[in-house]
């Protein structure tokens, strides 16, 4: 039971660090506002991650394409992790490091937003994708951890969770995703 309690307290401590960091909170608010503006302009949000972060990308997209809290219209948000035929074709033909960048090339348009979710910030396929997104003119956002890795250098906006623990970072990413969903949901609650 002590290990469970220790783990829960470590999770709370990470979230308290975020809650007490005004710069982090302002950046979170800026990103949410940027997403609202893009969506109101008819632009879209593309999201990617690997492993647990791929699941987070799908969770984020589902909350916005479907419903978070308020009844509203569905929003143009897509996780680039869901189509196994696309992912395996690109991985086979071009290499796994291109599974997201090729989709950005195909689906991304200037003004769209690309969100990369990575606990380390060092996933080659996300670095390639963020680079492609920047070249096309997408706004790039990173939900990162540890020191932000290489990916932070390709992001217009980064939220780096103050932890070196993968599970603590993933838990905080879900909190951040839900806060972004709340900002967006609130802005669209009267759009049915």
Lowest mean pLDDT among 29-43, 64-78, 117-131: 64-78
Average pLDDT over residues 162-185: 97
3.40.50.10490, 3.20.20.70, 3.30.56.10, 3.40.50.10190: CATH of 2-188: 3.40.50.10490
Mean pLDDT confidence for 93-122: 98
- The pLDDT of 68-92, averaged and rounded, is 95
Annotated binding site for substrate: 50-52, 63, 92-93, 118-120, 123, 170
- Predicted confidence (pLDDT) per residue in 5-64, tens digit: 999 999 999 999 999 999 999 999 999 999 999 999 999 999 999 999 999 999 999 999
- Which residues, in sequence order, are CB contacts of 21 under 8 Å at separation 6+? 162
Binding residues: 50-52, 59, 63, 92-93, 118-120, 123, 170, 178
Positions at the binding site for Zn(2+): 59, 63, 170, 178
pLDDT band for position 163 (50/70/90)? very high
Residue of 80, 91, 149 lying closest to 114 (CA atoms):
80
Q: Which whole number is the average pLDDT over 84-112?
A: 97
The 3-state secondary structure of the chain, one letter per residue = CHHHHHHHHHHHHHHHHHHCCHHHHHHHHHHHHHHHHHHHCCCCEEEEECCHHHHHHHHHHHHHHCCCCCCCCCCCEEECCCCHHHHHHHHHHHCHHHCCHHHHHHHCCCCCEEEEECCCCCCHHHHHHHHHHHHHCCEEEEEECCCCCHHHHHCCEEEECCCCCHHHHHHHHHHHHHHHHHHHHHHHCCCC
């Amino acid at each position: 039971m002590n290990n469970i309690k220790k783990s829960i307290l470590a999770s709370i401590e990470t979230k308290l660090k975020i809650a007490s960091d005004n710069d982090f909170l302002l950046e979170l608010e800026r990103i949410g506002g940027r997403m609202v503006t893009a969506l109101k302009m008819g632009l879209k949000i593309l999201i990617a991650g690997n492993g647990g972060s791929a699941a987070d990308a799908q969770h984020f997209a589902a909350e916005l394409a479907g419903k978070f809290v308020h009844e509203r219209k569905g929003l143009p948000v897509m996780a680039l992790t869901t189509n196994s035929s696309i992912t395996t074709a690109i991985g086979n033909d071009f290499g796994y490091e291109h599974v997201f960048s090729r989709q950005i090339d195909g689906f991304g348009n200037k003004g769209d937003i690309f969100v990369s979710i990575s606990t380390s910030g060092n996933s080659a396929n996300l670095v390639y994708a963020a680079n492609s997104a920047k070249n096309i003119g997408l706004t790039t956002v990173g939900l990162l951890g540890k020191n932000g890795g290489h990916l932070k250098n390709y992001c217009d906006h980064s939220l780096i969770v103050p932890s070196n623990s993968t599970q603590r970072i993933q838990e905080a990413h879900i909190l951040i995703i839900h806060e972004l969903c709340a900002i967006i949901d609130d802005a669209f609650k009267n759009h049915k």
